[in-house]
Structure 1
């Protein structure tokens, strides 16, 4: 293979995975030393930690005082499914899907819950469905930020304030990096391992007063597993939203989440987190603008994610290959970066078009993104040289 010289500067932190994501700058195991290990999470120290996590979440995200926040099992997936199983079926539902996780919620609604009045609004990777066609007399399920496509809704202006249905929003790769308009959202879910780089397995469920009203006035036709039940005797189980979790949480993970929340608060809160993600994504955008072999998967610049930045290889020598060969080229590129120790886990999601997916959330340093970019060119040149050698 033709020799391709390595760049001189390496990222200090090569962790650009889209989940679990990089820890906050300066993190170490010492941050977890105050975790109440070997204690019941229902004892006073555990309950205090869980309540603190809820209230710090409210403070950093700017969640309205009358919205409930709960810590629930099974990451963002558990939180979304908990909402869908508990709330859907009272009226028709519009399901928006433009990447793999949105398609997963479609499968849940149509094939598992078997909702008879379910309308699916789909778009291919890189695009959004026509948001003007959404019917807000119905419930609406959507992802704010498509983690596997790098496409996000630009804002919440398309959602009316006087809607009749509920809006259920999977915001897992948007929370703490994008401005969520809670007045337009009745259910918001996310997980700790995304923008704040927390540990996996725990989800967050945020409910508006309208969502609580639905829970207390509607009983689904299907049985609910214990971990999905949020009401008892027709009333909300308020303890869930005070830190009295449905199942046993990891207090080590809770401590890690608290550490990340305090870092975010001390940094300047949501505004500072958004600025960091924007700076990271902006560094990639500047590089894409001057680089002819790569482009964003997101078609419209207004919908480009500032967290899960998805890129496609557009060089004619690669784009002209069969899909399987294109995927092999991209895998070779990411393998070279991994082997050099400069970028871990940046291949496109398995169901997405082949290419790159670089996490740019707030825990990533812009200097590391900037140091990565010449290495992307290096890895591409290596792969092109391999193509030429093979020919």
Structure 2
């Protein structure tokens, strides 16, 4: 009996850990017990082995190719996901007492700023809004020129906010950003940034791994309190093998990166992201208020469509019914984050366009059957 007959197709819209391409899972399944000619699984393989060295080297090579990473940037693989890098960035790029600039657009950039405050003086360049529904124009940001770097989060997974126009680098100040939730969903000019951080569990693999892309000149001046496991100099000198890394997560990342390349690269990922999100937002915008997305259309996320059912603050009964009906159709992960409520459809790289089409049709049907 096939997997498809045993398990009806599930529409996975989880915000992370997120959907992995079935082609990637098939390869991982085939290689799970015996990786090629090694006689053992990657799960039990030494990170010092020739086989694993080839895996991590291939992962870096694929990432460099996909993002066109310049030679003066290092690629590091680390524990702790994106959140671990919220500490690693201030500990590596500035010294105690230094000022750093943070643009706050939602929960994750706020968490990054609070982590940095443990080690540095944080200047929030944006004013705190009552609700996160847009991104303040960069021209209004209060950037401290003495800041050692400028940090922002490219996509706010919880609020459904994304920068549609890249932040303009400030001369003499490294630009750093967290790409965890929209990593590899569109081309990026790496040379504009001092460092890029991203967890892999949404668009580039499975949980347990962070990728850091950092410019050479920013490596080697960590704070004395920086743990070795977070120290970019240590990670770089040991080629991300200072201690036992998340070996299987790196292997899965390599398979995912190869899949992205085979699908057409970042231009194709960007094309699909635009189609998927447009399918959902078009229904919302044409629903006459039955569905409401309060985010400024100019900053709507392409990967996390967040909305309410029955009005701007949502109708509790309607939203409960919506989630029940969605579950009957094998939709998973569509309940909004507990801090904001409502509905959230997360559509990362592995999400087929057809899945977004199914959601759009469900939205229309549910509206037709539940309008008062």
* TM-score category of the 2 structures, normalised to the smaller one: 0.7 to 0.9
Deviation at 1:176, TM superposition (A): 1.0
* Corresponding position of 1:337: 326
Deviation at 1:119, TM superposition (A): 3.2
Is 1:116 aligned to 2:121, yes or no? yes
Cα offsets for 1:255-276 (capped at 9, x unmatched): 2212111111111111111111
Deviation at 1:102, TM superposition (A): 0.8
CA distance in 2, matches of 1:375, 1:356: 13
Question: Relative to structure 2, which stretch is displaced further, 30-39 or 182-191?
Answer: 30-39
* Corresponding position of 1:295: 292
TM-score, normalised to structure 2, is 0.84
Q: 2:89 aligned to 59, 83, 90, which one? A: 83
Tell me how many residue pairs correspond in the alignment. Answer: 349
Deviation at 1:75, TM superposition (A): 1.1
**Structure 1 segment 255-270 matched on structure 2, within 5 A:** 255-270=251-266
Deviation at 1:330, TM superposition (A): 3.2
Structure 1 contact 12–368 (Cα < 8 Å) conserved: no
Deviation at 1:190, TM superposition (A): 0.9
Q: What RMSD in Å do the two structures reach over aligned CA positions?
A: 2.6
Deviation at 1:289, TM superposition (A): 2.8
Cα offsets for 1:126-180 (capped at 9, x unmatched): 21133222427322111011111221122225334xx222222001112111332
- SS of match in other structure, 1:20: coil
Higher RCO, 1 vs 2 (CA within 8 Å, ≥6 residues apart): 1
Structure 1 contact 17–344 (Cα < 8 Å) conserved: yes
* Corresponding position of 2:174: 166
Deviation at 1:93, TM superposition (A): 1.4
Deviation at 1:195, TM superposition (A): 1.6
- SS of match in other structure, 2:11: coil
Deviation at 1:328, TM superposition (A): 6.7
Structure 2 contact 323–334 (Cα < 8 Å) conserved: yes
Question: Relative to structure 2, which stretch is displaced further, 24-33 or 199-208?
Answer: 24-33
**Unpaired stretches in structure 1, ≥5 consecutive residues:** 1-10
- SS of match in other structure, 1:97: coil
Is 1:24 aligned to 2:29, yes or no? no
Deviation at 1:365, TM superposition (A): 1.1
**Structure 1 segment 144-183 matched on structure 2, within 5 A:** 144-156=154-166, 158-160=168-170, 163-183=171-191
CA distance in 2, matches of 1:310, 1:179: 24
* Corresponding position of 2:4: none
Question: Relative to structure 2, which stretch is displaced further, 262-271 or 171-180?
Answer: 171-180
* Corresponding position of 2:3: none
* Corresponding position of 1:359: 346
* Corresponding position of 1:135: 143
Q: 2:194 aligned to 174, 186, 192, which one? A: 186
Distance 1:224 1:329, change over 3 A: farther
Cα offsets for 1:200-227 (capped at 9, x unmatched): 0111011023423xxx3x442x612231
Distance 1:312 1:251, change over 3 A: same
Deviation at 1:358, TM superposition (A): 0.9
CA distance in 2, matches of 1:369, 1:183: 33
TM-score, normalised to structure 1, is 0.81
CA distance in 2, matches of 1:304, 1:52: 34
* Corresponding position of 2:335: 347
CA distance in 2, matches of 1:190, 1:166: 17
**Unpaired stretches in structure 2, ≥5 consecutive residues:** 1-7, 36-40
Q: 1:73 aligned to 59, 79, 93, which one? A: 79
- SS of match in other structure, 2:251: helix
